[in-house]
Amino acid sequence: MSGPLKGIRVIEMVGLGPCPFAAMMLADMGAEVIRIHRKLAAGASNPFPMLGTKYDVMARGRRSLALDLKQTEAKAVLLDLVEHADILLEGFRPGVMERLGLGPDICLQRNPRLVYGRITGWGQEGPLSQAAGHDLNYIALSGMLHAMGRADAPPAPPLNLVGDFGGGAMMLAFGVVCAALEARSSGKGQVVDAAMVDGSALLGAMIYGFRAFGAWTDERAANMLDGGAHFYDTYICADGKFISVGAIEPQFYALLLQRAEITDPAFAAQMDAGKWPELKTKLTALFKTRTRQQWCDVMEGSDICFAPVLDMAEAPLHPHNQARENFMSVEGVVQPAPAPRFSRTKPEVTMPPASAGQHSMEILCDWGVSEATIAQLKEKQII
């Protein structure tokens, strides 16, 4: 491991969505992350067959230890590991870890320097804290979902990027690294409460500022950055493929008109929102006259602020993505490479996704558990 978090030890309580993504980010950056899988009973089925295979991209770079946490000895093992950890990550509903006897109070008693990172949708406290939910619900409550989509349709779900990953996992990863940095000087750990509704609201900081200033309306597709402006939107081309145009600044807008050979004087009213629907209709008709590649030949690489809209098969093959090695292949599975970049401590993916319990013995050995204890744990089917 050579990334900037080399030497940091992390325990990940395996779950779904944002917690494994945050753990992946830490592992990509060089942290030693061990995944604690719940040991399934004999004959139990896996409801998510992709998990534990090479296609489980968010599980990359970590070893796995499977424990039967219903047994007291398994909890004792985990608490022994906690003594050697810098960070613990968990993404269960509030109270689950406490009921397991593995809540932050107990873990911090064993290791006062531990950073205990928790990720939920609604947060550890509040009227909705015990309610089930998914990404879509959390960003709905933050005000962000309402702003996305076309004016004549319901708000469009933006995959699960805003809540699960941007507002959840990345906030959790940022939070635990901040707390771990502080613990180096204070000697004290703490609990990091990351909630997807909180984080997705924070992602909207600029938009909330625009709205307070009077530069944003709650009507969808009526603002500069939500598809309301003709110079900031996506358009279909003659071949059914799409392009994106983001020519906000006057000089970039002027270049768009020049490269597209637009001489219509109506386009001089760039910032007149009342003219945007008319100008968008004209641009829509114009962009349909050529294929996506023909527009790329004219505009790509210029200051128009232009890019083709690529699908996930095309994106890894684009020359810019290839030049920057933005994608990589791990056991034949094409996936995004670690980000961001560092000039000296280069992040890397050290291993493919592990199946549950694949490294149980070696993890326990590496983290100081005796061979005799490991043999007892195995005999009792705790690991």
pLDDT tens profile 252-301? 999 999 999 999 999 999 999 999 999 999 999 999 999 999 999 999 99
Contact indicator for 13, 91 with CB cutoff of 8 Å: yes
Residue 212, domain member (yes or no): no
**141: exposed, middle or buried (Cβ count in 10 Å: 0-12, 13-18, 19+):** middle
Q: Return d(Cα 364, Cα 290) in angstroms, integer.
A: 61
For 173-210, how does the pLDDT look when each residue is reduced to its tens digit (9 = 90+)? 999 999 999 999 999 999 999 999 999 999 999 999 99
In a domain, 223, yes or no: no
What three-state secondary structure class fits 12? strand
Question: What is the Cα–Cα distance from 267 to 254, expressed in whole angstroms?
Answer: 10
Q: What are the distances in angstroms from CA 357 to CA 52, 152, 164, 193? A: 10, 50, 26, 28
Specify whether 253 is located in the same domain as 293: yes
Q: Measure the CA–CA gap between 259 and 303, rounded to whole angstroms.
A: 11
Tell whether 125 and 241 lie within a shared domain: no
Instruction: Determine the structural domain holding residue 247 and report its residue range.
Output: 232-317
b/e burial code for range 81-120 (CB count within 10 A of at least 16 → b): bbeebbbbbbbbbbeebeebebbbeebbeebebbbbbbbb
Per-residue pLDDT, 42: 55
Residue tagged active-site, from 28, 86, 135, 164: 164
Domain assignment of residue 166, yes or no: yes
Show which of 272, 295, 317 is a domain's final residue: 317
**For residue 253, which of 210, 224, 274 has the smallest C-alpha distance?**
224
Residue 139 covered by a domain? yes
Listed residues 285, 317, 349: the one ending a domain: 317
146 is catalytic: no
Query: Residue 372: what pLDDT?
Result: 86
Q: What is the DSSP letter of 328?
A: E
Annotated catalytic residue 135: no
Q: For residue 292, is it within any domain?
A: yes
One domain for residues 265 and 119: no
How many residues are there in the chain?
383
Q: Are residues 179 and 285 in the same domain?
A: no
Q: How many structural domains does the chain have?
A: 2
Retrieve residue 227's tokens.
């598809």
Domain match, 246 and 300 both: yes
Is position 313 within any domain?
yes
Residues 177 and 31 in one domain: yes
Q: CA nearest 305: which of 242, 240, 254, 237? A: 254
Same domain as 243, residue 196: no
Binned at pLDDT 50, 70 and 90, residue 41 comes out as low
One domain, residues 158 and 244: no
Indicate if 310 and 333 belong to the same structural domain.
no
Residues 119 and 143 in one domain: yes
Give domain status of residue 214, yes or no: no
The CATH number covering residue 165 comes to 3.40.50.10540
CATH number for 287: 3.30.1540.10
Provide the pLDDT for residue 46. Answer: 64
Alpha helices, H only, the chain: 18-28, 72-82, 96-99, 104-110, 135-142, 170-186, 196-203, 205-213, 250-259, 276-287, 292-299, 319-323, 360-366, 371-379
Residue 299 has phi, psi (to 5 degrees) of -120, -30
136 and 108 share one domain: yes
Q: Is the pLDDT of residue 107 over 80?
A: yes
- CA 138 centroid distance within chain: 15
What is the number of other CB atoms lying within 10 angstroms of the CB of residue 341? 10
Are residues 105 and 243 located together in one domain of the fold?
no
In a domain, 254, yes or no: yes
pTM recorded for the entire structure: 0.94
The first and second tokens of residue 206, run together, are 């600029």
Q: Rg of the Cα trace of the chain?
A: 25
Domain boundary residue, one of 290, 317, 344: 317
Which residue of the set 68, 80, 134, 318 is catalytic? Answer: 134
356: number of Cβ within 10 Å: 19
Contacts of 336 (CB under 8 A, 6+ apart): 326, 327, 328
* Mean pLDDT, rounded, for 93-114: 97
CB atoms < 10 A from the CB of 241, how many?
Answer: 17
